[in-house]
Amino acid sequence: MIPEEKIEPHLKTAKEAVVELYSELESKANSISDLILFLENGHKTNRPVPDMLPFVIGPGEEYHDEKYRVEFYTQYLQSAGKSKHEQLLKEGKIDDIKPFQRFSLFLELMIYSHLWENRKNLRELKQISLLLEGNSYSWEIEVPEFGKSKFIDEEIKETFKNHNLKVGTLFDSIYISQIRNAFAHSQFSFMPNGAAINLGNYDGSEFKNLKQIKIQDWEDIFLKSTLFFHEFLIMKANRRIEFGQKHPEVEIDIPVDENQTKKVKIYWHDYGKAYSFNKPAS
C-alpha cells in the first residue's frame, strides 16, 4: 500500500534526479541530432517495411507494449493509498487490513520487477550513459537476457556515478537485484504481522545478502523506483516537444550497413508532436 505522506518527498527526489540527468545529457551529447534521436526513439525495428532500411524513429512496437503497463502502475500509485484502507477499517467496512496489504505487496513486487527488467527502460538508460561518454547515438543497443544486474551496475549506474549525478546514488538505494530475483523465482514470503518481506534466495553472497526487508524500507524502494521511471518518461516526452519546436528540421546519420551511414533529414510535425522522415503538409 502507498503511504501518501512519502509520495511528495520521494517525488521531489525523483524529479531532481531526472532533471539533472537530462541537463547533463544535453550538455555532454555530441550533437542536437543525437539528442533528438534519443528523444524520438531511433531504433532498429523487428518489422521493417519492404525495400526500406530497418532503422526508424518514433514509438515503434514497444509503445503499444508499454502503454497499458504504464497506465497500470500510474493507476496503482493513485488508488492504493494506505490511509484509504485504514479509514475503511476504522469505519468497519473491512475486518482486517492485512489481506489488502499482502495483495498490494504482490502488485508492488511485480511492478518493481517489471520496471527493472524492462528492455526499453534499460536500453534508454544505457543510451544516455553512452552519450554522456561522448559516443555517437547507437541504433542497436542489446540488453542481455541474463546478467542484467551486472549490465545495470557496470554499464549504467557507474557512468552516472562517474558524472556525479544524483541518479547514480539513487540507483544505489533502489536497485536491488535480489528483490527482483526473489519475485521472479517465487522465493519470498511475508511476515504474519506484516512487518517485513522475507527473501528466500538469501545465501550470504554479495548480491544475495538480505534475509528480509522491512516494510518501511520496501515502501521507499518501491516508490522511488516507480516515481523515477514515471518522471523519466514525462521528461522525455516534454523535452521531445521542446526540441521539436526549436529544431523543426534536423539532419541525422542513419546506418546503411555495419560500416556506413548516410545523412537524412527529419521534420517536426506539430500536429502529431513527433518527427517524421516526411515533410509536414504546407
**pTM of the shown model:** 0.92
Phi, psi of 69 (to 5 degrees): -65, -45
Least trusted range by pLDDT, from 59-68, 195-204, 261-270: 59-68
pLDDT digit string (tens) for 111-142? Answer: 999 999 999 999 999 999 999 999 999 999 99
Hey, CA dihedral for 186, 71, 100, 229, is it positive or negative?
A: positive
| 194-219: average pLDDT | 93
User: What nine digits make up the cell of 202?
Assistant: 538469501
**Residue 165: band (very low, low, confident or very high) from pLDDT cuts 50, 70, 90:** very high
| Rounded Cα distance, 230 and 2, in Å | 16
Residue 156: count other Cβ atoms within 10 Å of its Cβ.
22
Of residues 103, 112, 68, the one with CA closest to residue 82: 103
List pLDDT tens digits, range 50-79.
555 788 888 766 766 778 888 888 888 888
Q: What is the largest CA-CA distance in the chain?
A: 69
pLDDT value at position 282? Answer: 67
CA distance 273 to 186: 42
Residue 84 has pLDDT above 90, yes or no: no
Q: Which of 39-48, 233-242, 273-282 has the highest mean pLDDT?
A: 233-242
User: In the beta sheet, which residues pair with residue 274?
Assistant: 269
The interaxial angle of helices 32-39 and 215-246, nearest 10 deg, is 120
pLDDT at residue 126, as a whole number:
98
**What is the CA 138 to chain-centroid distance, rounded?**
18
Query: How big is the chain by its Cα radius of gyration, in Å?
Result: 21
Q: Are strands 55-56 and 43-44 parallel, antiparallel or unpaired?
A: antiparallel
The share of the chain scoring above pLDDT 90, in percent, equals 64
Q: What pLDDT score does 46 carry?
A: 75
How high is the pLDDT of residue 40?
A: 94
Summarised one tens digit per residue, pLDDT across range 8-41 is 999 999 999 999 999 999 999 999 999 999 999 9
pLDDT reported for residue 60: 67
Q: Could you give the CA distance from residue 77 to residue 251 in angstroms, rounded to a whole number? A: 40
Q: Distance between CA atoms of 268 and 276, rounded to whole angstroms?
A: 6
